[in-house]
Structure 1
Amino acid sequence: MIRVFRTLLMSSVLVSAGLAAGHPAWAQGIPEGGAPSDGNTDTLDTITVTATKSGENVYDALSGSSVIGRDQVQTQVQPGSVSDVLRLVPGVTTQTDASDPGTGVNVRGLQDYGRVNVLVDGARQNFQREGHGANGTFYFDPEMMKSVDVTRGPVSTVYGSGAIGGVVSFTTIDAGDVLRDGTHFGGRVKGVWETNGPAPLIHGEVAARPSDMFDIVGAATLRRAGDFTDGNGNTVAYTAQDLTSGLVKTRIRPADDHEITLSALRIGNEFDGGLSTIYGTRAVADTFTAGYRYTPPDSSFWDLSAKTYYTTTDVRQRALTGRDAGGFKDFSIGTFGVDLFNTSRFDTGTLSHQLTYGGDFFQDNVETFDSYGTSAQLTPSGERFVAGAFIQNKVNYASWLEVIGALRYDSYELTGDNTETKGTRLSPKITVGVTPWEPITFYATYAEGYRAPALVETLIDGFHPPPISTGRFFPNPNLKPEIAHNVEGGVNLRFNDLLQDGDQLRLKVGTYRNRVDDYIEQVFTLFPLPGGYQYQNIAQAVLRGVEVEGTYDAGTFFVGLAGSTVDGKNTRTREGLKSVPPNRISGTIGFRALDGKLELGTRITAVGEKRDAEEFGFEGDAYALVDVFASYKVNDDVTAGLVVQNLFDRQYVQYLNIYPNPGMTAKASLSIRY
C-alpha cells in the first residue's frame, strides 16, 4: 500500500505540473427550497459535495451534479418514498416493487450491484438480492432527509470504488434543522393524510443545544399505508406497507477546530407481497456512523475528515401461500467501512492548488438462509473486501481556467464457496473548465471507473424456485470487473438581474458518452447441458445522453426545468440495454403571494416510450403526468401544505416496474414547530 500511495502521489504531482485552473465564480443563486431573494431572505446556490468532496456551488461544479433540499421536497412533493424525491433529478430514475418499499437507483442507465454508490450520512448501502426486481435496493425514510446530493457518471473518483453510474448521497437532519438560532430546545410535529391508500403519517423531531459545544436531535416516523388504486380505479393488491423509523444524531465540539458526529438510523418496514408465492416480510435497515472533522482556521494544510460506519439490512420472509407455506427466508448483509481524506491548499507561483488525498475501504458480509434451500443458492453467502486510495488536485489560474486531475487505485477480493477472486486497477480523471465570460463556464471531462463483480453475480448457483421453472443458474468465478471510460462536456450559466432587478437564472446543460468494457449481464448459455442462466462479461456497452437542469426565479414567480435522454446498446449484438430508462422531461412553474407566505404551482412530466429491450420482456409506454402543489406559512411556526400527484388519474406503469403506479393521490400536511 505504501508503494501504491507513493505512485499516486508522484502521478498527481506530474498531472498538477501541467494544470492550470480558474477560481470558480461565487454567485447569488437559488436556495435549497427554491425560494427567491425577495429582500427578506439572503440566498446562496446549493452546495454539492459529491462532485469533489470539498464542496462547491452546484452551478459552478464541472460535472453533472444536482442537490435537492428538504424545503423543496416538503413543499412541492410531500414524498411517500425515495422515488418521489429522485424523480426531480435529471438522468436519475428508480426501480421499485409496489409491494416492497426498497428502492433501486438508476443513474444514466446503470443500476444494481453497486454501479450507483448510494450513501446515507456517508455510509454505503450495499444490500443486494437476486430476484425479479432491482438487484440492489435500499430502505430509507424521506422524512429524515436534510438533502440529497447527486453526481452523475464515473467522475466522483473521491467517493469510493464501483460508482461507474454515479453517486447518490443522502444527508439526514441535524439539530440545526429543528432549532432556531439562539434557542436551546425545540421540536417539530408533522402530520400527513394521503388519500390513495389511505396513508396517515405522523413525524416528530426534538432537539437540544445546551451550548455551542454540543447538540443532539431525535426523530421518529410512523406511517400506515393501505392498498392503493391505479389510474383505472382498480385496487392493486399487496401494496399496503407499514413504516417505523427512528434517528438519533449528536455533534460534539470539544474545541473550535474539532467536531465529532455520531448517528444511528433505523428504518423498519413490514409488508406482504410476491408473485407465485405471497410472503410476509419484515425489512430492517440500520446505519451507524462516527465522524471526525479537524478544520483549524489558521492552517491551509489541514482540512481533515474521517468516518467509520456499519450498515446492515436484514430482510426476513415467511411464506404465506403455496407449497412452501410456513417456510422462512432470511437475507442479511452487513457492511463495515472507513473513509479518510484531507484537503491541503497552497500556491505555486500563479497557480492555486486544492489537493485532496485519502483512502477508503469496506467489507460486505452476506448471510442467507432458506428453510427449503433454494434462495440461499441464488443469493449466496460470502465476503467481499474493497479498498482504494486517491489523490486529486484542483488547480486554479486567474479567473477563467480550472483543471482537476485525479487518480484512484482500487483493489478487491471476493470469497465464497471454494471461490476466491481478486483484482486491482488505477483509474485516471481529468477535467478542464473555461470561463470566457463571468456568468458562463464550459467544461470537459475524461474519467474512468472500476466496478468489481458482486457476490451474487459471481457465486449464484441453483434452480429457480417452484412452481415456476426457468432453468438453472450457474456461477461464474471468472467474471472480470467492469471498466468505464466516460467522456462528457457541458456548460454552466449563472445570471443575476437578467430581466429585472433581483431575478436569477441558473442552467446546466451536459452531454456524455460512457463506454463500459466487460459489462456484466445475465445471459442464457447452452453449456453445461441442458443450459441455463449465468452472469457473463459481454464485450462492451455504450451509453450516451443529454441532460438539462435549470431554474429562473423572479421572486413572485419561478420556473424549473429538468430533462434527460439516454440511449444504451450492447455493442456486440446492437441490442438495447434493459436497464436504460426512457427519455424524460419535466417543467415546473410556481407563484408566490402574501409576502412569500403562499406558494403554489404545477409540475408537468412527460416520459417517452421504450421499445428496444422487448426481447428481455421489458417495454414502456409513453405517458404524461400533472402534479400541483400549494404551501401556506400561517406564521413562523405553522405551515400547511397540499400536494396532488397524477391530477388527471393517468393509468401508467413506470418502466422496469411490474405493477401500475398509483392514480390520483392528494396529500394534506400540517407542520408545527415549537
Structure 2
Amino acid sequence: MKLHIRLSYRPRVSRRLPLVLSFRSSRFGLCLTLTALATLVSSANAQEATPSAPADGTTIDLDAITVTATKAGERVYESLSASSVIDRERIETQIQPSSTADVLRLIPSVATQSAPGDPGIGINVRGLQDFGRVNVLVDGARQNFQREGHSAKGTFYFDPEMMKSVDVTRGPASSIYGSGAIGGVVSFTTIDAGDVLPDGAHVGGRVKGAWETNGNTPLLHGEVAARPSAMFDLLGAATWRNAGDYRSGDGSTVDYTAQELLSGLFKTRIRPTSDQELMLSALRITSDFENGLSTLYRTQAVADTFTAGYRWTPDSPIWDLSAKVYFSGTNVKQTTLEGITAGAVKTFDIGTVGLDLFNTSRFDAGAFRHELTYGGDLFQDNVETKDPFGVSDKLTPSGERLVYGAFIQDRVMFSEWLEVIGALRYDSYRLTDDDIENEGSRLSPKITVGITPWQPVTFYASYAEGYRAPALTETLIDGFHPPPLSAGRFFPNPNLKPEIAHNIEGGVNLRFDNLIVEEDRLRMKLGIFHNRVDDYIEQVFTRFPIPGGYQYRNIAEAVIDGFEAEGIYDAGSYFFGVAGHVLRGRNSRTNEDLVKVPPNRLTTTLGFRRYDGRIEFGTRVSLVGAKDNAEGFGFVGDPYAVIDLFANWRASERVTAGLIVENLFDRQYTEYLNGNPSPGFSAKASLSVKLY
C-alpha cells in the first residue's frame, strides 16, 4: 500500500495537530489516521539499521524528459530553457488533484484563472494568457476554445485522472511548437496501456475510488488495457466525479461551485514494424454545472480531442519522422434558469483542425554534432456562436481563422562543454468572416548558447522572438453587453496588428550526485528573463464613436521581467523540493502594472520514504505574496500561506492507498485572478487496485 500524505508542514505542526480536533468534529477520524501513520513511520524508522536506498520509481521529477523544449526530447535539468515536467508518479503520490489547476500551480511562473462555478481554467504563463498566448496541447492537439466574458477569455476543460504528465516550457523559446506561444507551451500527455500493464502482462486494469470531504465529493475511475503482442496495445479509461458546493476557509458555503464530470479515453498503439508506430486516441470530457453572475445558467461543456499520430524511426541518422493530424472541439451550452428568458439556450462551439509534421536528422560535421529539426504545422479555428437574442453571437463572433508556419532548428554540440541552438520560424495567418479579412506573416529567430565549464553545471543564454496573430473575438467583437448589466457597446477592430515578443533570458542548471550522502541527487534550475511584447492587445474604452464603448487595440508595449527557481534534493529516504518565481509586468508606455501578471510565489515540499519507498509522506507549504493594485483591477491580491499534507502507502504492487489534506489550517484566501474564495480544509482519501 502506498500512503500519500500531503503534509503542508511547518516545524511545529506536530505540536499543533491535536488542536485540529477542535476545529471540526469531521476531522477527528483524519487526525487519528495521521497519528496512526506517524506511529507506523516511527516504528518503521526504529527498525531500520540503515537508510534504505531509493526504490525504482520513488525519486521525484529528477530526470524527467521535456519534449516541448526541442521536440527531440532531453532531460529537464539539462535543457537550455525554462522547462518543467510533472509526471504521473508525482501526480499520484503528492497531489491527487481535484482539478488541473492543482498541478499547474506547482510550476514556477504558471497560474490559472477560472470563472465562478466554471471548472474550465485559463492558463497563465509569465503573466500572459488568453487568445493563444499560451499554446495548450493535449496529446499534441491544440486547445483553442475562447469566449468573451468576465473571466479568462480562453478556457480549457480536462480530467486530471487522465493525466500522464504535463510538460511546460516558459517564454517564446519553443518556436517549433506552433504560432502564438509568446507566453509558453503547456503540453498534457494522457495515460496509455503502459501505465496500466507491467512488463509481461497482456490484459489488466485499474480501479480507483476517492472521497473528498469538502463538498462531499465521490470519484470513481477505471482503466482497462490489453497488449496482445508487442505490435499492438490499447487502453480504455473513464472517470465519474460528482462534487458538491465547497466551503471556504471561514466555513461559509460557496454557492454554485458544484459540478459533475464524466470523461472517457480510448488510445491504441500499433507497431507494424520495429521502426514504425501509429497512435490513435479519442478523449471526451463532459462537465455539468450551474453558474452565472447576473443570470443563472445550467451549463454543459463538452470537450473532444481526437488525434492520429505516426512515427518512423528507421536505422538511419537522417530520419526520425513524426506526423500528427488532430481535431479538438469544445461546445458550451447554456440554458437560462430564471427570469423572463428562462429556458432560452445559447451555444458556443469552437472546433480546431490541425496538422503537425517534422523530422530530425543527426549528423557530424568535423568536431560538431548536429541535430537538425525541420517541419511545419497548420491549424484552422471554426467558431460558431448561437444566441436567440442576438447578443452573445456578437460578443463571441462566428468566423474562421487559418494559421500556418514552418520552422528549422539546428542543435549543435561541440565536445561536452558547448551547445548552440539556432532556429528560424515563419508564421502566416488569415482571419475572415462575412465583412472582415485580416492577414499577416513574419519570420521569428531564436538563438541559445549553453556552456558547461564542468559537468554538473551548465550556463545558458537565449534570445527568441514570438508572433501571435489576433484572435477572432479580438478582431470581430461587436454589439452591446447583455442585460441586466449595462457596460456599453463593443466595437470590432479589423486593423489589429499581431503581437511580437522579444525575449531575453539566462539561467544555470545544476546536477550533482553523491553530494552529501551516497546515491543522493541535487537538481536545480535558476533563471531570469526579460520579455518585451510589441503591439500588445488589450480591451480599452474609446470615446468615439459617441457615446463610446470598448474595443481591442494595440495600445501597449508590455514588459515582463522575472526570476524563476525550481529544484529538488533527493536522498532516497527523504527529499526536499522548491519552486518559485518573482514577476513584474508593466506597460512601458504608461508604467502601469499589467493586470494578468500573478503575484510572487514560493512552494516548498519536504517528504520522507520508508519501507524501501512503499510509504511516502510529507508536507507542502505555499507562500503567495501581495499583488499591488489588485482591487483596482477587480481582483483580490492579499498575501496568504497554505499548508498541505500528503501520504501514500503502496501495500503491494497492486494496491495503493492515499491521503491528501489541503489547507490544513482552514485559511480563508482567494487566488489572484479568481472570483471565488478557494476551498477551506479538505481531506481526500483514495484507494486504487490493479488487476492483471
Please indicate the TM-score interval, normalised by the length of the shorter structure.
over 0.9
Q: Alignment partner for residue 396 of structure 2, among 376, 379, 384?
A: 379
Q: Alignment partner for residue 252 of structure 1, among 257, 261, 270?
A: 270
2:147 is equivalent to residue 108 of structure 1: no
How far off its partner does 1:41 sit? 5.8
How far off its partner does 1:616 sit? 3.0
CA RMSD of aligned residues (A): 1.1
Give the match for residue 139 of structure 2: 121
Q: RCO (CA 8 Å, sep 6+): is it higher in 1 or 2?
A: 2
For 1:159-558, list aligned pairs within 5 A: 159-296=177-314, 298-558=315-575
2:629 is equivalent to residue 612 of structure 1: yes
> Which is worse superposed, 90-99 or 362-371?
90-99
Give the match for residue 80 of structure 2: 62
Which letter does structure 1 place at the counterpart of 2:65? I
Equivalent pair of 1:575/1:613 in contact (CA under 8 Å): no
How far off its partner does 1:371 sit? 1.1
Which letter does structure 2 place at the counterpart of 1:630? A
2:658 is equivalent to residue 602 of structure 1: no
Unpaired segments of 5 or more residues in structure 1?
1-35
Give the match for residue 162 of structure 2: 144
2:672 is equivalent to residue 645 of structure 1: no
> Separation in 2 of the partners of 1:69 and 1:42?
12
Equivalent pair of 2:537/2:556 in contact (CA under 8 Å): no
> Separation in 1 of the partners of 2:384 and 2:115?
23
Equivalent pair of 2:211/2:684 in contact (CA under 8 Å): yes
> Separation in 2 of the partners of 1:642 and 1:42?
17
Equivalent pair of 2:660/2:683 in contact (CA under 8 Å): yes
Which letter does structure 1 place at the counterpart of 2:348? F
Equivalent pair of 1:578/1:618 in contact (CA under 8 Å): no
SS of the aligned residue for 1:325 comes to: coil
Q: Alignment partner for residue 88 of structure 1, among 106, 111, 115?
A: 106
Equivalent pair of 2:630/2:637 in contact (CA under 8 Å): no
The percent of aligned pairs where both chains have the same amino acid is: 68
Which letter does structure 2 place at the counterpart of 1:91? S
Q: Alignment partner for residue 656 of structure 1, among 664, 673, 692?
A: 673
CA pair 426-41 structure 1, distance change in 2 beyond 3 A: closer
> Separation in 1 of the partners of 2:397 and 2:511?
50
SS of the aligned residue for 2:523 comes to: strand
How far off its partner does 1:37 sit? 5.9
> Separation in 2 of the partners of 1:226 and 1:183?
39
Which letter does structure 1 place at the counterpart of 2:489? R
For 1:42-57, list aligned pairs within 5 A: 45-57=63-75
How far off its partner does 1:539 sit? 3.5
Which letter does structure 2 place at the counterpart of 1:151? T
Equivalent pair of 1:511/1:544 in contact (CA under 8 Å): yes
2:153 is equivalent to residue 135 of structure 1: yes
How far off its partner does 1:96 sit? 1.0
SS of the aligned residue for 2:295 comes to: coil
Which letter does structure 2 place at the counterpart of 1:641? G
How far off its partner does 1:42 sit? 9.2
Q: Give CA-to-partner distance per residue, 1:37-66, whole Å, 9 cap, x none.
A: 626569771100000000000000000000
Q: Give CA-to-partner distance per residue, 1:285-334, whole Å, 9 cap, x none.
A: 000000000001x2000000000000110000000013422211100000
Q: Give CA-to-partner distance per residue, 1:349-378, whole Å, 9 cap, x none.
A: 001000000000000000000111111100
How far off its partner does 1:595 sit? 2.0
Which letter does structure 2 place at the counterpart of 1:489? G
SS of the aligned residue for 2:121 comes to: strand
Equivalent pair of 1:276/1:322 in contact (CA under 8 Å): no
How far off its partner does 1:344 sit? 0.1
Equivalent pair of 2:145/2:350 in contact (CA under 8 Å): yes
Q: Give CA-to-partner distance per residue, 1:572-608, whole Å, 9 cap, x none.
A: 1111111100000010000111221111100000001
Equivalent pair of 1:577/1:613 in contact (CA under 8 Å): no
Between the two proteins, the alignment pairs up a number of residues equal to: 638
Q: Give CA-to-partner distance per residue, 1:40-97, whole Å, 9 cap, x none.
A: 5697711000000000000000000000011101111110101001011111010012
SS of the aligned residue for 2:120 comes to: strand
Equivalent pair of 1:319/1:327 in contact (CA under 8 Å): yes
> Separation in 2 of the partners of 1:313 and 1:375?
16
> Separation in 2 of the partners of 1:281 and 1:261?
33
Give the match for residue 16 of structure 1: none
Give the match for residue 90 of structure 2: 72
Equivalent pair of 1:141/1:245 in contact (CA under 8 Å): yes
Equivalent pair of 2:57/2:89 in contact (CA under 8 Å): no
How far off its partner does 1:614 sit? 4.1
TM-score, length-scaled by structure 2: 0.91
Which letter does structure 1 place at the counterpart of 2:198? R
> Separation in 1 of the partners of 2:515 and 2:221?
41
> Separation in 1 of the partners of 2:56 and 2:275?
32
> Separation in 2 of the partners of 1:516 and 1:358?
26
TM-score, length-scaled by structure 1: 0.94
Q: Give CA-to-partner distance per residue, 1:158-199, whole Å, 9 cap, x none.
A: 000000000000000010000010110000000010000111
> Separation in 2 of the partners of 1:371 and 1:365?
20
How far off its partner does 1:423 sit? 0.2
Q: Give CA-to-partner distance per residue, 1:199-253, whole Å, 9 cap, x none.
A: 1000000000000010000000000000001001000111100000000000000
Which letter does structure 1 place at the counterpart of 2:177? Y
> Separation in 1 of the partners of 2:187 and 2:459?
25
Give the match for residue 627 of structure 1: 644
> Separation in 2 of the partners of 1:98 and 1:202?
25
> Separation in 2 of the partners of 1:403 and 1:617?
44
Equivalent pair of 2:460/2:506 in contact (CA under 8 Å): yes
Which letter does structure 2 place at the counterpart of 1:55? G
> Separation in 1 of the partners of 2:240 and 2:502?
44
> Separation in 2 of the partners of 1:46 and 1:317?
41
Unpaired segments of 5 or more residues in structure 2?
1-51
